[in-house]
Amino acid sequence: MKRLYNRINSDELKQQMLESDEKRVTLSFYQYANIEEVAQFRNQFYEGLSALGVFGRIYVAKEGINGQLSLPADNFEAFKTYLYSIDFLKGIRLNIAIEDDGKSFYKLKIKVRDKIVADGLDDNTFDASKRGTPLDAADYNKLVDDKKTIIVDMRNHYESEVGYFKGAIRPDVETFREALPLVEDMLAEEKDKNIVMYCTGGIRCEKASAYYLHKGFENVFMVEGGIIEYSRQCEEQGLENKFIGKNFVFDERMGERITEDVISKCHQCGATCDTHINCANDACHILFIQCESCAEKYTNCCSQKCSDFTQLPEEQQLVLRRTLEFNGTKFGKGRYKAFHKDEGLSLE
């Protein structure tokens, strides 16, 4: 029987990816569809993609598929042929990365999930296929100039912190599940306005737009293909790009630059910066923004405490992590807690 999971050490695979000079293409795609035999489809899909040298993270559920991946550039046409040979994926839009060094993924993971995006909704209570009106880049630029238009960022706070559409409402949330009811409450008195939503590649807005139409909002729109496709169209057509800063992405790159604007600050020293990293202390691993100076000072960690911890022997780390708390131990994703004092690790 063929292996349907990666069996090689992740650190080794990551090092191989970083050292490789193979030209790769990073892209994302999604499709809401009815998949009956989810596990069977998952296994067949894994075999098909593995044969093409695909790396990435893909979620499969009864409601469809959601994937972010990279593949050898030489296999791109073969990949499209294989993808389009699957009935519900035929002709699907592929969102090609805007800024790509080929170092986005280092192994292939395909997971079966209850949903392709965790939204907390009971899809049986509304028609999830009745979605908002998609907008291409030109239509978006026209509609947002209307005073009756409200722009809503359906992403999480750590995504919008480094980049967003001008004039957008940016909910302070950690998850899409949190955003749905919060945005509904925020716009409760605006149900007759043009509600334009956007996200990274469009998948969250498709579900959200159906939900808000069900909730009585009259004019619901979504940026087709999200920030990625919008930016591509702006570049191709010479349109004004109304997005500023960086587009956060969920792979090793952590972001792709849309404009030269840097709108956020280092979480440690306050210097202008928009580089996300995960704390190098695996017992913490909190997502935060760090400048080069602080990266050197704290050895890519979120605090002196974490930096000190990473210098300990591995055996001692394993014992101490049972009782010690770090930024990422107690706080949610991206909820960085800066220390007022440069406190190191106390073993007393």
What is the set of active-site residues? 199
Which residue from 212, 156, 218, 222 is spatially nearest to 186, judged by alpha carbons? 212
CA dist 49 and 32 (Å) reads: 20
CA dist 298 and 286 (Å) reads: 14
CA dist 239 and 231 (Å) reads: 9
Region of residue 289 (phi > 0: left; psi between -120 and 50: alpha; otherwise: beta): beta
Q: Is 186 in contact with 56 (CB distance < 8 Å)?
A: no
Q: Which helix (H) or strand (E) holds 220?
A: strand 219-223
What single-letter amino acid sits at 258?
Answer: I
Q: Is 205 in contact with 227 (CB distance < 8 Å)?
A: no
CA dist 246 and 99 (Å) reads: 10
Rounded to 10°, the helix 203-214/176-186 angle is: 40
| Residue 114, SS3 per DSSP | coil
CA dist 173 and 177 (Å) reads: 9
Cα–Cα distances (Å) from 145 to 192, 194, 199, 231, 241, in that order, read: 17, 11, 19, 18, 13
